Amino acid sequence: MTTITNHMPTKELQALDAAHHMHPFTEDAALAKKGARIITRGKGVFLTDSEGNEILDGMAGLWCVNLGYGRKELAEVAARQMEELCYYNTFFQTSHVPAIALAAKIAELAPGDLNHVFYAGSGSEANDTNIRLVRRYWDVKGKPEKNIIISRKNAYHGSTMGGASLGGMSGMHAQGGLPIPNIAHINQPHWYAEGGDMTPEEFGLARARELEAKIEELGADRVAAFIGEPIQGAGGVIVPPSTYWPEIQRICDKYGILLIADEVITGFGRTGNWFGSQTMGIKPHIMTIAKGLSSGYAPIGGSIICDEVYNTVAGSGDDFNHGYTYSGHPVASAVALRNLEMLEEENVLDHVRNVAHPYLMERWQGLTDHPLVGEAKLVGLMGSIALTPNKETRAKFASDAGTVGYMTRERCFANNLVMRHVGDRMIISPPLVIKPSEIDILIERATRSLDEAYAKIKAEGLLKAA
Ligand code: PXG
């Protein structure tokens, strides 16, 4: 067999990809006909594909490459660690320096008494850990029946059986017999799409109080925890009304329910603070982390656990029978630690707060002048715009949800901008190191794509409200 390299013709790479590589969240037979876009390298906020296109990555990969592509120092740290100790486990009463140092660093950065880290290989695995951890916690407390976890519709918490069950994606639940037992879902705080005539503040309270109603319905002695993304990411960058999270916190406190903040996207600077929980003013007992923990340079995730939950489970007199071969993988841990140090040394959070966010906010809000754009939201560097045929009424399109969003995404693709669509919402989450001049390129390509999509939508008679 010939060696497969970046230098092979695109068509050959696509054919091999189609023949042997099954993609996540993809209708593979349809992709096989079209051929995947092959990404060959990355530098800063730009990707290059096998055709030589320079693409501005408005999504930081999958919300993770926060320091940008091509950071040599991270590659060097990985190489050094592989030579020194490529692997050892953290089971059976052993540990190693990268896992220790990273846990200490995460505990230093995490607020309050979130002082303990359980490692996983990804965000999905970490949420599986959380399911077992909170159930174990209440079990040790003598309340084994307090085992239901409440989550939200349109939440994303991963793709394992546990993660997808916590998530509220109907398309995922429809495949594979999900959710697993004892997971309940309430409605999401998505004012633009579901708020009707309420003000955002009224709606935020109403949606938070669905948690109270659900706890009352199930009985507080049955409910172990509530899990939520401080800002829903994969669901469409849905920023909850300001009233939402304080009310959720009040309800969790009142009923003695553990609060899990899924910080897989919002952690490590994405919202301008170290954690989205700080931006939203909440105090979770457990945080799920992954993605930005290593800027995507190595696969690693985990749970940050407060003293009370840790002390209870750790002091139960029995093992917590859970863990992964790659829990605290030394290479991934070393890379993650260096990534966190670089975020600090380069004052990346200051850059997000004082440079990139204010500048992008101004330009992003400017997109609401476009006839297709109903609202523009941006917290830190995660943003969304709603596409609508009628800005006044916040109407949905008459076409199937996502038709217009997909058409817009196709124009972005053609214009060398990675901007995703979730239904008829367009979303961005660029590397945190993005410069104002690169934000100008992002906005210029986004505007051109919106213009082209608008022309096409009109031409195809799709500019109709449902
Ligand atoms: N929680 C949240 C909040 C996430 O966004 C996960 C958990 C799962 O992490 P892993 O590392 O297991 O993938 C995620 C992942 C998308 C998209 O289409 C989003 C994610 C993953 C894949 C696609 O926006 N988020």
Strand order in the sheet with 420-422: 373-379, 382-387, 425-428, 420-422
Is residue 128 in contact with ligand 1, taking CB distance under 6 Å?
A: no
Alpha carbon of 295 to ligand 1 centroid (Å) = 14
For residue range 224-265, list pLDDT tens digits in order.
999 999 999 999 999 999 999 999 999 999 999 999 999 999
Query: Measured between alpha carbons, how far is 165 from 16 in angstroms, rounded to an integer?
Result: 33
Ligand 1 contacts CB of residue 264 (under 6 A): yes
CA 262 to CA 275: how far, in whole Å? 10
Distance (angstroms) between ligand 1 centre and the Cα of 157 equals: 6
In the DSSP assignment, the letter for residue 316 is: S
pLDDT for 155-205, tens place per residue? 999 999 999 999 999 999 999 999 999 999 999 999 999 999 999 999 999
Instruction: Write the DSSP assignment of 389-408 as a string of letters.
Output: S-TTTTPPBSSPTTHHHHHH
Q: Using CA atoms, how far apart are residues 376 and 386, in angstroms rounded to an integer?
A: 7
CA distance linking residue 361 with residue 377, whole number of Å: 8
Please name which of 409, 435, 436 lies closest in space to residue 422, comparing C-alpha atoms.
409
* pTM (2 d.p.): 0.98
Where b means 16+ CB within 10 Å and e means fewer, 3-33 reads eeeeebebeebbeebbeeeeeeeeeeeebbe
Q: Is 412 helix (H, G, I), strand (E, B) or coil?
A: helix
Q: Which residue has the tokens 């199930």?
A: 218
Please check whether residue 109 is in contact with residue 340, taking contact to mean a CB–CB distance below 8 angstroms: yes
CB of 236 shorter than 6 A to ligand 1: no
Listed by start position, the domains of the chain span 37-67+347-459, 73-345
The answer, yes or no, to whether any atom of ligand 1 lies below 6 A from the CB of 384, is no
Topology of domain 37-67+347-459 in CATH is Aspartate Aminotransferase, domain 1 (3.90.1150)
Rounded to whole angstroms, the Cα distance separating 465 from 88 reads 58
Which parts of the chain register pLDDT below 70?
1
Q: Do 227 and 260 touch, CB atoms closer than 8 A?
A: yes
How far apart CA 185 and CA 175 sit, in angstroms, is 17
Substitution candidate for ligand 1 out of 59, 125, 156, 188 with most atoms within 8 A of CB: 156
Residue 365 half-sphere exposure, CB side, CA atoms within 13 Å? 6
Q: Closest residue (by CA) to atom 10 of ligand 1?
A: 123
For residue 1, what pLDDT is reported?
Answer: 62
Q: How far apart are CA 427 and CA 409, in angstroms?
A: 10
Q: CB of 262 closer than 6 A to ligand 1?
A: yes
Closest CA to ligand 1's atom 24:
234
Q: Is the CB of 124 under 6 A from ligand 1?
A: yes
Please work out whether the CB of residue 158 comes within 6 Å of at least one atom of ligand 1: yes
**424 secondary structure, DSSP code:** T
Residue 305 CA to residue 282 CA, distance in Å, equals: 15
Substitution candidate for ligand 1 out of 23, 57, 63 with most atoms within 8 A of CB: 63
Cα separation, 340 vs 94, whole angstroms: 24
Domain 73-345 has CATH 3.40.640.10: yes
Torsion of CA 125, 82, 305, 381, to 10 degrees: -80
* pLDDT value, residue 7: 87
DSSP3 helix / strand / coil % (the chain, rounded to 5) = 45, 15, 40
